[in-house]
Amino acid sequence: MKIKGRRSIHPITLLLTVALLLLGTVIANTPLAAGNGNGSGRPNFVDVLVTYDQTPGNSEKNRVRGMGGTVKRQYENFKILSLRVPENALHGLSQG
């Protein structure tokens, strides 16, 4: 029994549509497509000053290096590090 004016979707068409939607979602969430802005697939780096409650030691510096960043300068009279880190590491850096 067919309802007048109603068309059925062919199973292959439905399957291909779902597969393309899933593929698009996977591609959009890859690091290369994450919008780093430079088109090279490498992350953009940003320079930041990070303040600490206590004088930063080797564990803080190693944590920055583990995130792919570098320590540019440690100030003697302040509890601050000058860092260069990937943009995508900023959130993790703030969680420390």
Q: What is the pLDDT of residue 92?
A: 87
Tell me the pairing of strands 80-86 and 45-51. antiparallel
End-to-end CA distance of the chain: 64
Q: Residue 33: its pLDDT value, please? A: 44
What local confidence, expressed as pLDDT, does residue 12 receive?
A: 74
- Mean per-residue pLDDT pooled into runs of 10, the chain (96 residues): 63 64 56 53 89 93 95 93 93 82
